[in-house]
Structure 1
Amino acid sequence: METIEVKTKSKQYPVHIGEGAISKLGHLIEESVPRCSSILIITDSNVAPLYLQQVKMELKDYQVYKWVIPAGESSKSLREYEKGITYALRCQLDRNALIIALGGGVVGDLAGFIASSYLRGIRFIQIPTTLLAHDSSVGGKVGINHSLGKNLIGAFHQPEAVLFDTNFLTTLPAREWRSGFAEIVKLGLIRDAEFYEFLSSNIESLPVKEELLGKVIKRAIELKAEIVGMDEREAGIRAYLNLGHTLGHAIEAESRYQSISHGEAVMIGMLYAIKLSEASMKRKIVTKRFYQWIEQLGYAFWHPTLNKSGLLLERMKQDKKNSRQQIHMVLLKECGEATLEKVEDQFILDQLSSFKAWVRGNVTN
């Protein structure tokens, strides 16, 4: 089992990665959550039948409660948040209680936000069950969506630990692999060109082959931990982690989180951000091989919401990086180096038109 230490100004905690890592859960709680009075496991309707009982078996020495939310992005809502707080109160969780987030990004974000605000904050542990959650489980950003945009309500609340059992990934459908791998590609593009080259040279299809999976996840989490360690509260370079998210979140919100996964939307957002970067920097950032590789992995470059340029622009103006309704986007100076730039509305609209024309003329999906 591999262990990475996340070191921020507010907290230091371990991320344990490996096959069968869940067997270490009891010991991890003893070590990281002293005087734990009771445990609330928050999971969803997809994960519960697969792994809830296995996790509970590791917690025989504790009073354990469970709350199962409907699977899907719609559960990252004020309504589900209130339900979760109410359930925790009915369970009479005290300030020495622990919340365990067992699931993907939706579960982790919602459970973490409940932990951040219940009794003004209690401890929680992340147990990711998706590839996408390699990103969302590390760094302490927790929250829920609003009808006007994604992740507009939330907090910074670091977990006590992250336990990433790679065996849990074996049940993921193809869409979830694409969703998670998009965020891994992003880390290479913004921070580590050598890692990007490794990915594009070795990952020919999804899911990632078992012999490469551990190495890929470990390096992705190391990169995320480095950035979070330097900028815990997104005052500087942590904003670079939002490459592709400004448009990606707009696509998700405009589609009402129904027809496209987070990572698939982010991938379209990254492709657009690269094209916008090239137009802004007046030079090529990636080669044609990059687009061929992304298509080979099964990503769609098109979504019907791209026809709603005006509505997407308004959604993009709700992005947390913006100031005074002025859109700021993460762009690439080159592969492995990002920047945050103010972008004018008309330039965004012009480049959306160019991007749509490019997609229609150059890809088959």
Structure 2
Amino acid sequence: MDLPLPDDPRRTAVRAWLAEHPEPTRAELGASGYLTPHWPAPWGLDADPVHQVIIDDELADIDTMFQESQIALGWAGPTILAGGTPEQQERWLPGILDGSQTWSQLFSEPEAGSDLASLRINARLDGDAYVVTGQKVWSTWANTADWGILLARTGATAEKQRGISYFCVDMSLPGIEVRPIIEMTGGNHFNETWFDEVRIPVDCLIGDEGDGWRLAKVTLGAERLSLSEGGVLWGMGPTADECFEHLRGTGPWDDPIERQRFASLWTDAEIIRLLSLRMLSSAVAGSDPSSFASIRKCLADVFGQDVLSLVKDRRGAAGMLGTQDFESEQDDVYHWGYLFSRALTIGGGTSEVQRNIIGERLLGLPREPKPA
């Protein structure tokens, strides 16, 4: 991998800042620009790819993963930057950066998941507000979020990608009802969200009316890139190295078939690691790594399921006794992770969607034919 990282005075600057802030808070990281260095000033550092790599490298030993803020930092923020007015950026970005605002994504519907452009929720303009009625599903953290990013249909056209608009929604508005979806983990971060004549002020429209599909692609591109990173569970739960270390402690490994499963998974993990470096190299070279992110997500999602299945198998009957509490002791997180891993090949774009992206954007294959 060609990753030229020469001695750079910007590395010295990061180290000096860390010396002054050995245990930085979320607010301190946000104010410094190191939380989102790729964002433009004043919200970030306008950092080029090499500068971003330097910052990531220096912050590697610091727990900067704020899982509950992934939607805010990774998806809402970049879209507000891409389509929001300066006034809207001033309104929402400070709270996104310092962690005082939590956000939910309100995209999927019962009949519009992978085919998101088929969404039906309606927003009609009525004076100084858009009146929204309809249902969303799989709304991550909608039960606790302060704000949501919402796609709604503001016009009827023959081409379903048109007539969609993008909103920021105050989740405390009258008429919003959130119903938890209890997962087989026993937990809840997915929800159903119902809108009953909810009045969203016109100043919460991001971009122009009907420009929502373009902005949604900004969000989804950032989502799939972020979900291709982190641990075996989208940055939650155990890392690949932690899974392997746990497996090494479940010996003896007398069965050659199980040894081969372990070896194959280790090989898969190394391929995924090298693909991550390829993405990094692409970014440093100034290329768009998002298509490679789809490859990595396809591989990493199946890997997460397979490695946690091996952990479950190696624990035998004891594997059924773990609690379903993600925050509990290390052994229990594998039980939680095994159950949660079933969602990996669905969330953030199904494996089938990712393969379409790979085929069309990387391999140049014809686009999937539209249904008759």
Q: TM-score, normalised by structure 2?
A: 0.27
Task: Tell me the TM-score normalised to structure 1 length.
Answer: 0.27
Q: Which has the higher strand share?
A: 1
* Higher helix fraction (1 or 2): 1
Larger-gyration structure (1/2): 2
